[in-house]
Amino acid sequence: MQPEFIIIHQQVAPHVAHIQLNRPKELNALNLQLMGELRDALKQLDADDTVRVIVLSGNEKAFAAGADIKQMADKTAVDMYNIDQFSTWDAIKKIKKPIIAAVSGFALGGGCELSMLCDMIVASETARFGQPEIKLGVMPGAGGTQRLTRAVGKALAMEMVLSGRFITAQEARQAGLINHVVPVELYLQEAIKLAAATATMSPLALKMAKEAVLKAFDTTLEEGLHFERKNFYLLFASEDQKEGMRAFTEKRAPVFTGK
Ligand code: CAA
């Protein structure tokens, strides 16, 4: 069945797929159906050998303005528990291939959290990041208090979460939340360019390196270093390691196959 709220663009660059959130009238508010479609598309691309890197965008006005407030407004705590909306987020967290968020306009609440679930963020100058849940009488529920704090530190995270203030793309860049800020007409192009450059690397090494960097968020330094070393050694079982190192000595570009 065709998804209703996302568009999948295959091969926007060699080995790069692009998923666009497509609920423009609602500023890409993340309702349950959209998140389910996004999870399914990401899982499908994660299993597709022709894809090495995924770009996730909204549109110029909004990456996503958060979880769908109208869908949640009348729910009880028991409804929320049973609906278990964050199980889709848990599945997205397990995607092995790098995901690059291309953010323009609003990235608020769940939208900000979704961008932080990605591995790199390229933003337009018009991007605004915020966790305004406090204004709705709630708080972030999809990682906003955790990933934001780890990315920007306590002071700014507290201010954003407790006051709901939006920060600009420049501020987000200075705080270390995002990778690049570019003019609005270039944000998607630049994200795809970064994805295309990343996609020239060994797909196996990309997955293991992503896994190791993410490990840094939930383990001790000692265990993280141990994990890193295992992945490093494991890559010596791959043809890509032989090809990469041979190509270096032969002064030519490597041709990685993911084996
Ligand atoms: N949920 C549902 N609908 C939303 C929405 C959301 N998060 N954000 C925007 N919309 C809808 C609006 O209701 C409006 O629909 P109607 O035309 O049918 O009224 C449409 O999108 C356009 O929005 P606005 O008219 O409000 O546009 P604006 O340019 O005046 O304002 C905005 C833009 C500042 C982003 C404003 O829409 C806004 O504040 N949105 C809500 C942001 C928010 O609070 N996000 C957090 C949600 S909770 C959450 O995400 C929990 C979590 O941790 C997972």
The counts of H helices and E strands in the chain are 12, 10
Q: Cα(70) to centroid of ligand 1, in Å?
A: 9
Is 190 in the active site? no
Side chain identity at residue 151, one-letter code:
A
Of all protein residues, whose CA lies closest to atom 21 belonging to ligand 1?
26
Q: Are 54 and 16 in contact (CB under 8 A)?
A: yes
- For the entire predicted model, the pTM comes to 0.97
Q: Is the CB of 141 under 6 A from ligand 1?
A: yes
- Burial (CB < 10 A; 0-12, 13-18, 19+), residue 236, is exposed
Longest Cα–Cα distance of the chain, Å, equals: 65
**Ligand 1 centroid to residue 103 C-alpha, Å:** 16
d(CA 117, CA 101): 9
Render 41-85 in DSSP notation, one character per residue.
Answer: HHHHHHT-TT--EEEEE--SSEEE--B-HHHHTT--HHHHHHH-T
Please give the distance, rounded to the nearest whole angstrom, from the Cα atom of residue 128 to the centre of ligand 1. 13
Using CA positions, which residue lies closest to atom 36 of ligand 1? Answer: 65
**Among 62, 113, 172, 209, the one annotated catalytic:** 113
CA distance 185 to 126: 10
Name every residue whose Cβ is closer than 8 Å to that of residue 227 and which is 6 or more positions away in sequence: 212, 215, 219
- The pLDDT profile of the chain, 259 residues, written as one tens digit per residue, is 799 999 999 999 999 999 999 999 999 999 999 999 999 999 999 999 999 999 999 999 999 999 999 999 999 999 999 999 999 999 999 999 999 999 999 999 999 999 999 999 999 999 999 999 999 999 999 999 999 999 999 999 999 999 999 999 999 999 999 999 999 999 999 999 999 999 999 999 999 999 999 999 999 999 999 999 999 999 999 999 999 999 999 999 999 999 9
4 noted as active-site residue: no
228 is catalytic: no
pLDDT digits (tens, 9 = 90+) for 80-101: 999 999 999 999 999 999 999 9
26 an active-site residue? no
Q: How far apart, in whole angstroms, are the C-alpha atoms of residue 217 and residue 18?
A: 27
